[in-house]
Structure 1
Amino acid sequence: MGRSIYCVVTAAGSGTRLGHNEPKALVNLAGKPILHHALCGLEPLGDLAGVAITAPANYLETFTQIAREAALSYPWTVLPGGSSRQKSVYEGLKGLLSFEPGNGQLPANDPTAIVLIHDAARALTPIAQFERVCQAVESGCPAVVPATELIDTVREVKGDTFTRQGLKITPAGSTPDRSRLRCVQTPQGFAGDIIFAAHDRAREESICEGEAVDDAVLVATLGHEQYFVPGSMRALKITYPLDLKLATWLAENPDRD
């Protein structure tokens, strides 16, 4: 590809919704931790100059051991994440600057560097999706988001939502045009200087108060357009037990969807 590529892998999330007391990245997926699959999924991507893995502060040694056992060919580091995803990404970006560029590579905050932000929970993301994002950034797009079309009808509700017992009724709201909506995934890709500037400004001006839904939102606050490339059903986010079951089937059947 020719440009230095860096990646922040956010893996500091809990496994509560999966029904586990350990971090989500440590949950078993087809015989290996979710984190193992996420890190190995980056292997075929050429020009990787460094990967920063954010982890819960009290699990740094465990995450480091998983990365070691994966025998990764690219440079990597494990560092503590923050109290939110946005803060974890910021810590990961700082970690990318710890890599010493070599062989013509440029630092992560250089305008020509490509920085990917990827959720470890999307552990089975196809390499083709990484490549689509990188190619779009390389072509001049400042912020690139992989996305899929919605399957379900989406309803915008008014007031409180119903309770689990169904005792509270929500007034009917509008139904947005599904053809104009997308489900966004990772990795999201950015020109190096832009993603660093977006996170620096967010911290300085308390934008989103550390709770941005994704990094493209922060980049948009600088006035940059977001560009979309096709996502993949294999890049599902493992959040609930049913997601883990589906991901297990996908991991055991890599050539079938």
Structure 2
Amino acid sequence: MNRVSMVLLAGGVGKRMKMNVPKQLLTIGGKPIIAHVLEKIEMIDEIAEVIIPSPENYIEETIMTINDHQFSKPFQVIEGGSSRQESTYKALQHVQHEHVIIHEAVRPFVSKEEFIHLIHCEEENAIYGLDIPFTVLEGKEYIEGNLERDRLVNIQLPQKFNTEKLLAAHEKAHHEMNEFTEDASLYFHYYGENIKVLEGTEYNIKITKPIDRKVAEIIYKDYVLGREYSE
């Protein structure tokens, strides 16, 4: 595969984290969460550019954080949207390459190898996912139905798509005011095409709530530092 673009979503304001700064700028192991991801991206030659949607009030701080960690790849920090979906849509309009990797700045424990495996996957559209190890039923106040656990997948990022087709799908969703929580579901809704599911890892957590940050510190100490010392 030729070189790809990266959209690194950093547009959240961290309401559920109950902090006064976006969660991607909080630290894990003494380092901003977004910097953990940028370190992996920096080592991957196939990634040619990085588009980073950010809250408007934190664009300059995001740029400073990136520069402080000597990130040398071409990058643009743009104003994000009012939702994750809108931020992705805005970022896709800046992408220059045929294929794009979508990742979230608040998934700091993705590995370099996972990025490379995704980029070189023969399938044009591919994502990471995990089996669901618990029972999931349909309903809210009352149970309304059973779901077959062995046919469900816990969706993770990063994800890879054809840029032109993903942008077109986002444009349709934008005009039809359809909302999706991530890009695989949006893409499949409009095209119904195969999206390859690669096996993810339990370490690749998304940091959303305060408890996630506590778990992340444990993962960093026992998994990330452990790998560094063993290499």
Partner Cα separation in structure 2 for residue 58 and residue 70 of structure 1? 20
**Is 1:218 aligned to residue 217 of structure 2?**
no
Partner Cα separation in structure 2 for residue 53 and residue 65 of structure 1? 13
Partner Cα separation in structure 1 for residue 204 and residue 84 of structure 2? 18
Partner Cα separation in structure 2 for residue 114 and residue 181 of structure 1? 26
TM-score normalised per structure 1: 0.81
Q: Which residue number in structure 2 is paired with residue 234 of structure 1?
A: 203
User: Matched residue pairs, number?
Assistant: 224
1:19-62 deviation digits (Å, cap 9, x = unpaired): 21211111121111111112222122222110001100011100
What is the 5 A alignment of 1:108-187?
Answer: 108=97, 113-136=98-121, 139=122, 141-157=123-139, 161=140, 170-187=141-158
Letter in 1 for 2:45: G
Structure with higher helix content = 2
**Is 1:51 aligned to residue 21 of structure 2?**
no
| Identity in percent | 31
In the superposition, relative to structure 1, how do residues 5 and 223 fare at CA in structure 2: closer, same or farther (>3 Å)?
Answer: same
Residue 9 of structure 1 aligns to a residue in which SS?
strand
Q: Which residue number in structure 1 is paired with residue 67 of structure 2?
A: 68
**Is 1:198 aligned to residue 169 of structure 2?**
yes
CA contact (8 A) 1:126 1:232 kept: no
In the superposition, relative to structure 1, how do residues 217 and 207 fare at CA in structure 2: closer, same or farther (>3 Å)?
Answer: farther
1:46-84 deviation digits (Å, cap 9, x = unpaired): 221100011000111000001111111321111110011
Residue 245 of structure 1 aligns to a residue in which SS?
helix
In the superposition, relative to structure 1, how do residues 88 and 250 fare at CA in structure 2: closer, same or farther (>3 Å)?
Answer: same
RMSD: 1.7
Residue 232 of structure 1 aligns to a residue in which SS?
coil
1:88-117 deviation digits (Å, cap 9, x = unpaired): 001111232xxxxxxxxxx32xxxx32011
Partner Cα separation in structure 2 for residue 177 and residue 6 of structure 1? 36
Partner Cα separation in structure 2 for residue 223 and residue 242 of structure 1? 36
Residue 152 of structure 1 aligns to a residue in which SS?
coil
CA contact (8 A) 2:7 2:91 kept: yes
CA contact (8 A) 2:92 2:163 kept: no
Larger radius of gyration: 1
Partner Cα separation in structure 2 for residue 30 and residue 15 of structure 1? 19
Unpaired segments ≥5 residues, structure 2: none
The runs of at least 4 consecutive aligned structure 1 residues that moved more than 6 Å come to none
CA contact (8 A) 1:142 1:225 kept: no
Picking from 184, 193, 214, the partner of 1:245 is 214
How far 1:17 sits from its partner (Å)?
1.5
232-241 or 80-89, larger mean C-alpha shift: 232-241
How far 1:216 sits from its partner (Å)?
1.6
42-51 or 194-203, larger mean C-alpha shift: 194-203
